[in-house]
A = this chain, B = another copy of it.
C-alpha cells in the first residue's frame, strides 16, 4: 500500500483499494517506475497507455510501454519535490483509471538533475550546478561480450569523463564485426541476400524488451559513474547487415516512441539523432527533421537533443528541436579563435563530438597523437566550446575503445580529470576576452583569465591582459593578480610568487605597473591562470 502516515482521511479513503504499482518515495530527477499486468489481445506493443502526473500546478503526461511477460510499465522523473498524483488511461480495462501518489523528495548527493543548456553557450544541471562536458566515445561497447562491457565500465570509472557517446543499434564496420547477443526486434524469419548471406527478417511490430532492458542497465550504470549518455538513435554503420539504418519511416517513428517512453525518465540521457547523418543513405534532410520533431514531441522532459554529421558537415542547428550543436570537425579546434567563431555563430552551446581520435590507426581520423588530442580539447575550451575525446589504439585483437570499449591505452584521457577540475573551479564559462584581437586570452569573469600558450615554447611571459573583457567591465588600473603556471601535459600547477598590479590601459592592453612578468619552463601546452587577489580593504 502506498499510503503515507500523514495522508488525510479523504486521501486514505480514495486510495484504500489501490495496489502498489511503484515506489512511494523518489528523489527529484530519479525515476519512479510503475508496473501493471495485462494480457493483451493481439500485439501487446499496440496497447496505448498514458499517464498524467500532477503536483502543485505542474502536469506532465507520459506514455507507458510494454516490457514483455504481460507487463506494462510507466516511468516518470519528478521535476520538483512534493506529492505527485498520477492517473492512467488506456483502452485496456486492466490498465485504465489506475491512480496513485508518490512523494518526490529533494535530490541529494551527486544528483543535480538533468543537464540543460543555460540559454546561452553553456550547460548546467537542473539544480543550477555548472556542467562542463568532458566526453569520450564508445559506439558499441554495450554490444560486446560481457567481459568487455565490464572492463569498459571499470575503465570509465577511473577517468574524469562525464559524458559518453554511444549507439542504440549495433555497429558493423571495418574494425567492428561483433554480432550482438540481443536484437532490438523479434525475428520473423531468415532470408538470404544476393551474396547468399543469411539476413534476419525483423518483426518491426514487436520490439525485444530484453534488448532495451540491457540498454537501460548500461545507462543506469553509466549514471552511477556520473556520466551523461549521448545516445545515438540512428547511424550508417549497418548497410544491409541488420538494416536498422534503412527501416521504414513508420518503424523509425515507432522505435522513437518506444525508446523515449522507456528512457525519458533517465535523467542522464541525451538524444543524438544520428552519428554521421549524411552517410545514412536511406534518409533525407527532411526525414531527419521529421525524426527530430518526433523525439522532441514524445519527450516531456526536453532532454538535450542534437544531430551529428560527417567531417565539416553542418545541419541546420537553428532548428528549435536542437538544444545544442554537435559536430564532427577539426577546423574549429585548430585555434581558440576558430572555436570562438562557432560560438559566435550559434546561439546555442557547441560540442565538437569528433575532432579525430588519439590512436594508431592507418586511417587519419584515428591517429592523432595524445598531445594533439589535448591541444584540440584545450583550444576549443579557450574559445568557449566543448571538445570530446576519443581513442583508437589497435593492438592485436584487443577491443578498440572508440567503438568496442575495453581499456583506454592512450595518454590524453589521463589529463581530462585535471582539465575538468580547472573548469569546474571557474566562476563562469570561458569565452575569448577580446575576440579576434587577443588570440590567447579567455575570460571566466571579472578578474579571472586563462592565457593559453599552446605550442609556443617560451621562457617568459610579461604580464599583460586585454583591457576589454568580453561583456564584463573593462580592466583598469590598481587591480592585483596572481598567476598560476599550469602545465596541462604534466598536470602541475605552480603559483608565481609575484603579486602583479595593473597599470592604466594603453593601446587596448593592461600591463603590470612595474612591467614584471613570469618566468616559464620551456615547455609546450602551458596555461596561465590569472586571477585577482583579494586584498584587505
Binding site for B on A (CB under 8 A): 311-314, 316, 318, 329-332, 334-335, 337-338, 340-342, 344-345, 364, 435-437, 439, 507-508
Closest to A328 in B: B436
Bound together, the chains give a CA A364 to CA B332 distance in angstroms of 25
Cβ contact of A331, chosen from B311, B313, B314, B337, cutoff 8 A: B337
Residues from chain B with Cβ under 8 Å of A437 in the complex: 330, 364
Q: Is B318 a contact partner of A341 (Cβ separation < 8 A)? A: no
What CA separation (Å) do A507 and B316 show in the bound complex? Answer: 33
CB neighbours of A341 from chain B (8 A): 312, 329, 331-332, 338, 341-342
A-B contact pairs, 15 of them (CB 8 A): A312-B341, A313-B344, A316-B318, A318-B318, A329-B344, A331-B338, A331-B435, A334-B335, A334-B338, A335-B335, A337-B338, A338-B341, A341-B342, A345-B345, A364-B437
Contact B340 A436, beta carbon cutoff 8 Å: no
Number of identical monomers bound together in the oligomeric complex: 2
Q: How far is the CA of A92 from the CA of B341 in the complex (A)?
A: 54
Q: Name the residue on B nearest A317 (C-beta).
A: B345
**Smallest Cβ-Cβ distance to A336: which chain B residue:** B331
For A345, the chain B residues whose CB sits under 8 A away are 314, 342, 345
Q: How far apart sit A334 and B432, CA to CA, in the bound complex (Å)?
A: 16
Q: Which residues of B contact A331 (CB under 8 A)?
A: 337-338, 340-341, 344, 435-436
- Measured CB to CB, the closest approach of chain B to A284, in angstroms, equals 15
Tell me the bound Cα distance from A337 to B334 in angstroms. Answer: 9
Contact A329 B364 (CB under 8 A): no
Q: Chain B residues near A330 (CB, 8 Å)?
A: 436-437
Contacts of A332 in B (CB 8 A): 341
Q: Does the CB pair A435–B312 fall under 8 Å?
A: yes
Residues on B with C-beta less than 8 A from A342 are 341, 345
Q: Given A318-B318, A436-B330, verify A338-B340 contact (CB < 8 Å).
A: no
Closest to A333 in B: B436
Within the complex, what minimum Cβ distance (angstroms) separates A327 from chain B? 9
Please measure, in the bound complex, the distance between the C-alpha atom of A316 and the C-alpha atom of B316, giving whole angstroms: 11
Residues of B within 8 A of A312 (CB): 340-341, 344, 435-436
Which residues of B lie under 8 Å from residue A314 when comparing CB positions?
Answer: 344-345
Question: Inside 8 A of A344's CB, which chain B residues have their CB?
Answer: 312-314, 329, 331
- Complex formed: what's the CA distance from A508 to B341 in Å? 29
User: Which residues of B lie under 8 Å from residue A335 when comparing CB positions?
Assistant: 334-335, 338
8 nearest A-B pairs in the assembled complex, by CB-CB distance: A330-B436, A331-B341, A312-B344, A314-B345, A331-B337, A338-B338, A312-B435, A318-B318
Beyond A335-B335, A342-B345, 12 additional pairs, beta carbon < 8 A? A312-B344, A314-B345, A329-B344, A330-B436, A330-B437, A331-B337, A331-B344, A334-B338, A334-B439, A335-B338, A338-B341, A341-B342
Q: How far is the CA of A332 from the CA of B340 in the complex (A)?
A: 10
- Residues of B within 8 Å of A435, CB to CB, are 311-312, 331
A331 to B331, CA, bound (A): 12
**Contacting residues, chain B, for A329 (C-beta < 8 A):** 341, 344, 436
- A312 and B436 CA atoms in complex are apart in Å by 8
CA distance A313 to B508 in the complex (A): 20
